A and B are shown apart, each in its own frame.
Chain A
Amino acid sequence: MSGRLATVGYRIAHAIPVILGVVVVSFLLTRALPGDPAVYFAGPAADEASIAQIRTALGLDKSLPEQFFVYAGDVLSGDLGQSISTGQPVLSDLANRLPASLELTLTALLLSCAIAIPLGVLAATRPGTTVDHLCRVLVTAGVSLPTFFTGVVLIYVFYYLLGIAPSPLGRLDFIYIEPDHVTGFYLIDAAIAGDWETWIGAVKQLILPAITLALFTLAPLARMTRAAMLSALSSDYIRTARAAGLTENKVLFTYAFRNALLPVITTLGMVFSFTLGANVLVEKVFAWPGIGSYAVEALVVSDYAAVQGFVLAMALLFVALNLIIDIAYTLIDPRIGFETR
């Protein structure tokens, strides 16, 4: 067990240089973007002198290394700069918008796992049957329909035709009051405040975009679960377990499923990363005030500070995510701690 703890510590220590690298890359990346923020700031009527003045005010006339150290110092003190387009500190923008995206993505993934994993297991234990075919159809449909299309179809059916869903305009209908900011997740904050009416309102808003994303992420998870279960079920140790007379449930869950979980977790990590980055479209369709749409808007107007803040936040999120996946892996698979020792 101490070996595993050491492995976890090792992984955490490994994350530090990655984070340093990310700070450097996010700085350089935004400098490499085309467009001059000083010109944008100065407005269309500015002359050379006022642009130069603004450039000095923004610190853009200094050399790159100097700019970097100023930036790094600011990052350390928690100052990510001021967004040009929203006029707010980037940090507070991110603090508002990141939870919105995370809430959507995590709900979608939970939903997706809740359907995909049992479906994959069922398909693997009954290959060639109706369940298996159903799984294949659902998976193909989910992956071949683009999210903005499923999103629009869902809105059309459930909001326009059936009138079950609320209007797709953000995280909460205007009749509810936003819960006090604790975590930024409306579901959690409303639950903490004990405001169940708001909670239900938030769920209603969340359900359609979450289903849209879940349908899209269903495919890789269900496919991987099915494949991993099939290979686990055909392995020698399953034969041993069956030859020892273990019950089918024991064989399926304690023996096969735990082994099959390893590739599924890897896939889950990958799916999470690309969903977080790719849910801009869903955010746009449902007017969701998420981080994806924020970044796109900032990018269009060369909003350095906002883009930098976004890149940094995403990178940190991915580092944290990979760390969590590594740790989950270490906890499930005893062989991992052994290899790094």
Chain B
Amino acid sequence: MGKQMSLLSLRDLKVDFETRKGTVNAVRGVSLEVGKGEIVGIVGESGSGKSVTSYALMRLLDKGGTISGGDLAYGGIDLKSAKESTMRDLRGREISMIFQNPRAALNPIRKVGHQIEDVLRRHAKATRANARAEAIKALKAVRINDAENRYEAYPFELSGGMCQRIVIAIALACDPKLLIADEPTTGLDITTQKAVMDLIADLIVERGMSAMVITHDLGLAAQYCSRIVVMKDGEVVEAGSARKLFSSPEHPYTQKLVDATPRAGVSVRELLLPELRTPMPLTQIVETPLLEVRDLYKTYKGKSGPVHAVNGLSFAIKKGQSVGLVGESGCGKSTTSSMLVRLLDSTKGEILFKGEDLAAIPAKQFARDPRRASIQMVFQDATDSFNPRHTARQIIGEPLARLSPLNRSARKARIDELADLVGLPVALLDRFPHQLSGGQKARVGIARAIALEPEFLVLDEPTAALDVSIQAIVLNLLVDLRAKLGISYLFVSHDLNVVRLLCDEVIVMKAGEIVESGPAEQIMSSPDHPYTRTLLEAAPHPPVLSSQAAKAAE
């Protein structure tokens, strides 16, 4: 890079938030540079101050947030002391931002075309007369097909990936020189994630922009960024090229993040810190199937004819086995898992649980069936699946109170035992969900699901909302519980790298049908179906992964 002048420079940036509990130092002296044409990744877990840093330089901090020290310079302009009107001229024209949760980031009751026009007109890139044409041009620039019709669409009519393209179109409409992407692909499917990131990367090169990509996913950052800054607790702990960070991380925290990133060729234990790597427990798989699905269908009435959400599924899960169900959103994997846990009636087909057909029992009546206790589920979003007015103890105790014969004191003992089993400190049992961290909530969710000693557990993306280091711990917990309790798992996810760590077998679904199934290792290493290959390729490929690749790099 040599003597390139930096476009953006942060020196010793400090950001404070005034809260009811006093001042919180969210960013504590961050220094970083973004050169012209450079893509810098900022990686860190929740609470690391990575997003706050970007909001500070846009001067869009939430109420109570102030820049309390340091310097912020963009191309010779002092962003810290610039007038608000100057900042408004810069935003969107010089520095743009794209956000996570694209659907919420768009005005729900305004046509997307008009939202693009607003920006164009604001920065005098279009007049009333040519705004429409310019907006359509901006839509075409983000590779939206049929841009003329999409111009008229409202955000709720578009898919998540399409909404993110619109957000990108808004951000890039006025040809900014710096793009800040704040978790641009969180919540999107893995294939959509790849499409969106590739698009961003292409546009950056095409227009000679600089970019700052903020993400919790080290693998993603490593694939798309030339330089990575790792943040923790409001400070930069390490900065350097992506290659170097992966091959020889200097800071223990970076090492921990690198280790915790699910990737090809490592076992679930290797995600943990070295001192926590206990030997893998032995799991026993009995050959007789515990659950057998035969020719399962689910058809919904749609606006234009029936929608076949699940179209003739057949598979079996053995006792003690862990099976992964993989596919993009809309492939029918959630519908399948809902039918298996008997929360949803199937249209046709059999669900044999220990030889008895559960599909014959209506989902509404299954809550009173004695087998309800044997089939349980861990939900994706722990926060949303808890009653916010219940303490962790009440949450875990709920299924016990309803479905087990235990009396009050026996229940209390069982809850303590469960908390111990999932590694939740007993002292936390009397807290409410909002007082628990993401990892602790995940543990409560798991404890509730295993409270009745189920034989079959459906895990619906249980770690999707967690930081990688917490994900590593929760995945290992699940491995241990499976070995200890002999539960069979159906692990539903869109991320093959995570599924592989936990599952013996993998089923790949697309459009309600199984396209491929088999042993996890085989599917990961030599997939037969092109769709499986697409999924595998879409997962981020950090430059240096396994140990032999590290050697090759030297």
Interface of A toward B, CB cutoff 8 Å: 235-237, 239-248, 250, 254-255, 258-259, 332-335, 338, 341
Contacts and interface: CB of A to CB of B under 8 A. Distances in A.
A335 B92 contact: no
A236 B55 CA distance: 13
Interface stretch (B97-105, B191-199, B364-372, B409-417): B97-105
Interface of B: 58, 60, 88-93, 96-97, 99, 101, 104-110, 118-119, 122-123, 154, 156-157, 167, 170-171, 303
Contacts of A258: 109-110
Given A244-B171, A335-B109, A235 B104 contact: yes
30 contacts: A235-B104, A236-B101, A237-B105, A237-B107, A237-B108, A239-B60, A239-B99, A239-B105, A240-B99, A240-B106, A240-B107, A240-B170, A241-B107, A241-B118, A243-B58, A244-B91, A244-B92, A244-B96, A244-B122, A245-B89, A246-B88, A246-B119, A259-B107, A259-B108, A259-B109, A332-B109, A333-B109, A338-B156, A338-B157, A341-B303
Given A240-B105, A243-B92, A259-B109, 19 more contacts: A236-B105, A237-B105, A237-B108, A240-B106, A240-B107, A242-B60, A243-B60, A243-B99, A244-B118, A244-B122, A244-B171, A245-B88, A245-B90, A254-B110, A259-B107, A333-B109, A334-B109, A335-B108, A335-B156
B453 to A, nearest CB: 42
A245 B92 contact: yes
B109 A244 contact: no
Contacts, number: 80
B170 to A, nearest CB: 6
A235 B110 CA distance: 15
A14 B89 CA distance: 50
A255 B119 contact: no
Contacts of A239: 60, 99, 105
Contacts of A254: 110, 118
A247 B118 CA distance: 10
Nearest to A332: B109
Contacts of A237: 104-108
Contacts of B122: 244-247, 250
Contacts of A236: 99, 101, 104-105
Given A259-B109, A335-B156, A341-B303, A245 B123 contact: yes
A338 B110 CA distance: 14
A245 B119 contact: yes
Given A240-B99, A255-B110, A259-B108, A246 B118 contact: yes
A41 B111 CA distance: 64
B211 to A, nearest CB: 15
B167 A240 contact: yes
Nearest to A256: B107
Contacts of B107: 237, 240-241, 255, 259
B88 A247 contact: yes
A106 to B, nearest CB: 27
Nearest to B120: A244
B415 to A, nearest CB: 37
Contacts of B110: 254-255, 258
Nearest to A242: B60
Nearest to A259: B109
A332 B107 CA distance: 13
Contacts of A334: 109, 154, 156
A271 B297 CA distance: 49
B119 A244 contact: yes
Contacts of A335: 108-109, 154, 156
Contacts of B118: 241, 244, 246, 250, 254
B433 to A, nearest CB: 21
Contacts of A250: 118, 122
Contacts of A248: 88
A237 B105 CA distance: 4
Contacts of B105: 236-237, 239-240
Contacts of A246: 88, 92, 118-119, 122
